[in-house]
Structure formats: C-alpha cells, structure tokens
Amino acid sequence: MGFFKKKKPEEKSLYEDLKQTKLSLGGKIKKLFSRSNFDTEFYNELEEALVMADVSVETTMELIGLLKKQIEKQKGKITNKDSIQLLETIIESLLPENNFDVDEKKLNIIFVFGVNGVGKTTSIAKLANLLNEQGLSIIIAAADTYRAAAVEQLDIWSQRLGVHCIKHLGKSKPSAVIFDALDAALSRKSQVLIVDTAGRLHNKENLMDELKKLNKIIADKAPEANRYNLLVVDSNTGQNAVQQTKNFNESVGINGVFLSKMDSTAKGGIAVTLAHQMNIPVAFIGTGEKASDIRYFEKNIFVESIFE
C-alpha cells in the first residue's frame, strides 16, 4: 500500500453531499425494488431510472443483463433488500479501483486538464489542501497563461493554503511556466507538483496538440517522476463527458478523473459510465466550492451513499 492510501484519513462515512442523486436515483430504485415481481415493466423502469441519472445506455444494458441473470438464478426467492444489494454489487464490479497514490520518496507530478470551467483550478486547490494536510511538500504551477485572472485565482488559493505557487508575471507561455515549475520542484526535492492548465475544448486540435507538447515537456524533463494525469469532468456534463474523456485520453493519456460539482447534480450516474466505459477510475469527487470539499473516491462508499 502506498503513502496516500496509508495516510488517507479513515473515510468510512457516506458521501453526504450526494444527497441529490440519493433522493432522485436512490429513491426511484428503492421504490422500484419494493415491488414483488421482477417483470418486464420492472426492468424497463429500472432502465429508465438509470439512463435518467446519466448512466449510459450501454452501461445500463450491461448492468440490467447481469442483474436479470442473478435474479433468475434465485428463482423468485430473493428478498427486496437482497436484490438492491445485488444491484450495488454489480455496479461496484463494473468500476475499476481508484489507483491514485503518491510515492513520498519521489517527485509526483499531477498534470490537470479538462474543458473550460469544469472546476480545474478549484479542484487543484482542494487536492493541494488534502496533500498538504498529509505533510507533503507541494508546489502548484499556474500554467493557464491565457487569462491573467487564472494566474491570480491560483495564486490566491496558494496563499490561503500556504503552498508555493510558480507563476509568471506578464505575458508568458504555459511551457515556460512548466519548465520553471519543474526546475523548482526538482531542485527543492518537492514531493508533489500540481500543474494547472487552461481550459480547452476536447475537439480543438491545436489546443490538444499544445497539451500533448506540455505533457512531453514534463516527461522529458522529469523522466524519473511519478506521473498522474488527471482529467477534471463536471458531473453535470451528461454523456458528452464520455467523448471528452476519450479525446483527452487519446492525446495525453489519463490516469484518473476528478469528478467536480457532485454536490450540484442529481445525476451521479456519470461516475459509473465513465469508469465502466472508459475503464478509467474516478480518483476524487468535488462536493462544493471550499478547499475541504473533496472526497477520495471509494466505489463501495459511493454506491452505498446513493442506495442506502
């Protein structure tokens, strides 16, 4: 077990901030499973409830197929409580384990990207806060040089959290900021470098090429570092999140997803879709606008939070 998993505060409590999804999807499912027979109408309504909560049609069909098989095996002897439990276990089985960790003996570089306004900068502040609380030495890099306000936004967070921020005053290029940040992190023997980048549409080729270039600079300049490429996805995005994940993954490779704004959606199903269809784990969820509004994603707690 790595450093982060060992030091991570025990998080056995449910994700209270998912209450919208719990009320909407969880409530519908509970009502549905309180029926006495599992007929075609039951499966149709289950399908509708899952799809309405942003579980993709593909994932929904696989889920329902597996559930049907299990329920038929029990030949009508299954209790309602057990059948919800069955659904929970099947959803969990479709999700890859969270693989986020840091190696405290090395430099860990968390490269953060995603489309505009999804919550990248705020999520970086949350992550920096979480890792800072665990005693790791952290540098954050303001490599969104397109908007002056973006540098200022990250700088304000860094002052609030007491972590060092590498930034350029005046006009600069993201590659130049990343170069300086890598120099600083390597010479100070920092344990974590988190890189903020400008929001970019996943279908804009020139912007994706730029991201590729930045990714390569990091790989070339810090070949020994532990790398974690983190895509931030707004959980209100709907099925477009799948396409975003595909494109970013093709360009630079993604190790995990930060699902932001889970507090403001009733459609938590996108977490299941992304993890299942892309086989990329959800690493963290964002549950508000404060630095402490972050939860390390654990699939069993996530599923329980919605259905129990």
Ligand X SMILES: Nc1nc2c(ncn2[C@@H]2O[C@H](COP(=O)(O)OP(=O)(O)OP(=O)(O)O)[C@@H](O)[C@H]2O)c(=O)[nH]1
- List residues near ligand X by CB under 6 A: 114, 116-122, 144, 150, 199, 260-261, 263-264, 286-289, 293
User: How would you list the strands of the sheet with 164-166, edge to edge?
Assistant: 164-166, 138-143, 192-197, 108-113, 226-234, 256-260, 282-286, 294-296
In the complex, minimum distance from the CB of residue 22 to ligand X, in angstroms, rounded to a whole number: 16
Nearer to Mg ion among residue 60 and residue 122 (C-beta): 122
Q: Which two tokens stand for residue 107?
A: 């430099």
Cβ 289 to Mg ion, closest distance in Å?
13
**By rule CB under 5 A, what count of residues binds Mg ion?**
2
Running DSSP on this structure, what letter comes out for residue 232?
Answer: E
Q: Can you tell me which residue has the tokens 């309180």? A: 34
Q: Return all residues near 161 (Cβ < 8 A) that are at least 6 apart.
A: 125, 128, 129, 132, 291
- Work out whether 197 is an interface residue with Mg ion (CB under 5 A): no
**Rounded Cα gap, residues 231 and 284, in angstroms:** 11
CB nearer ligand X, residue 83 or residue 251: 251
Least distance to Mg ion, CB of residue 118, Å = 9
* Shorter beta-carbon distance to ligand X: residue 167 or 261: 261
Under 8 Å CB-to-CB from 243, ≥6 apart: which residues?
202, 203
Any contact of residue 120 with Mg ion (CB under 5 A)? yes
Structure tokens at 239: 């099925």
**What is the helix, strand, coil percentage profile of the chain, to 5?**
50, 15, 35
Q: Which does 122 bind (CB under 5 to 8 A by kind): ligand X, Mg ion, none?
A: ligand X
119 binds, among Mg ion, ligand X, none (CB under 5 to 8 A by kind): ligand X
To ligand X, the closest distance from the beta carbon of 206 in angstroms equals 17
In eight-state DSSP terms, residue 236 is T
Smallest distance, Å, CB 117 to Mg ion?
8
User: Which of 304, 305, 300, 285 has its CA nearest to residue 130?
Assistant: 285
Q: Which does 54 bind (CB under 5 to 8 A by kind): ligand X, Mg ion, none?
A: none
CB of 286 to ligand X, least distance (A): 3
Single out the segment in contact with Mg ion by CB under 5 A; choices: 105-113, 120-128, 182-190, 268-276: 120-128
Selection from ligand X, Mg ion, none that 263 binds (CB < 5 to 8 A by kind) is: ligand X
117: nearest Cα among 274, 240, 260 = 260
